[in-house]
Structure 1
Amino acid sequence: MIYELRVYTTFPGQMQNLLTKLETSMLPLWKKHGIQQVGFWTTHIGPDANELTYMLAWESLAEREQKWNTYQSDPEFIKAKENAVEQYGQTNAKIANSFLVPTRFSALQ
């Protein structure tokens, strides 16, 4: 199993808009494309309260590439993204992601 850690840094005042967009538009599309989320977290205490961190689980990088590319080219995703920009403007100042492999003693395998 490979885990993808993604950190979105929002523009000030845009966190709620990002959360709404993810919950109402993107999560149903992830389900449609078989994208498995592990969890979502907002920064309560830390260097930047404008960060949303989430994790996705993949069987392999090949699975990630296939499913992510299919999701990103889905006309529903493209339309939802356009609608979100019209409704909220740009929400993200920065997106970072890392691919993590669990150690043999990790609770998540």
Structure 2
Amino acid sequence: MLYEIRIYQAAEGRADAMRQRFLKEVVPRLPKHGIELVGVFTAPEEDGKMTYITRFKDETSRAAGWAAFGADPDWKTVKTASEVNGPLLASQTVSVLSPAAAGLLLG
């Protein structure tokens, strides 16, 4: 099992739009591409940041899931339409983690 942590930093003044697009457009599409969403988090003191965790069977599943998501024509349309006034993300950080002690972490 692999866990992936993604931290998004919104472009200046675009935090609300970034979060809304993620919740309304990204979250519903994830299962279609084999991406299991574990949780989405924000911190009040870091308004422009959003962190989410996904889970995959293995690296092959992770790579295939994100490739399929990125190639999804409906997602491409939504992304383009949501960025007519500029990108919503300034940056993103991706960390892929494997449990160090099986059975001690989330099922």
Q: TM-score, normalised by structure 1?
A: 0.87
Match for residue 101 of structure 1 among 77, 98, 103: 98
Give structure 2 stretches of 5+ with no counterpart: none
Percent of residue pairs bearing the same amino acid type: 25
Q: Is the 8 A contact 2:34 2:61 kept in 1?
A: no
Question: AA paired with 1:98?
Answer: S
Q: Deviations over 1:48-88 (max 9, x none)?
A: 432111111011010011111111111111111111112x5
RMSD: 1.6
Q: TM-score, normalised by structure 2?
A: 0.88
Q: Is the 8 A contact 2:33 2:68 kept in 1?
A: yes
Measure the CA separation in 2 of the matches of 1:31 and 1:66: 13
Q: Deviations over 1:23-61 (max 9, x none)?
A: 11111211222211110111224xx43211111101101
User: Residue 88 of structure 2 aligns with which residue?
Assistant: 91
User: Residue 76 of structure 1 aligns with which residue?
Assistant: 74
Number of residue-to-residue matches in the alignment: 106
Measure the CA separation in 2 of the matches of 1:41 and 1:33: 21
Question: AA paired with 1:95?
Answer: Q
Give structure 1 stretches of 5+ with no counterpart: none
Q: Which has the higher strand share?
A: 2
Match for residue 64 of structure 1 among 62, 65, 72: 62
Measure the CA separation in 1 of the matches of 2:76 and 2:104: 36
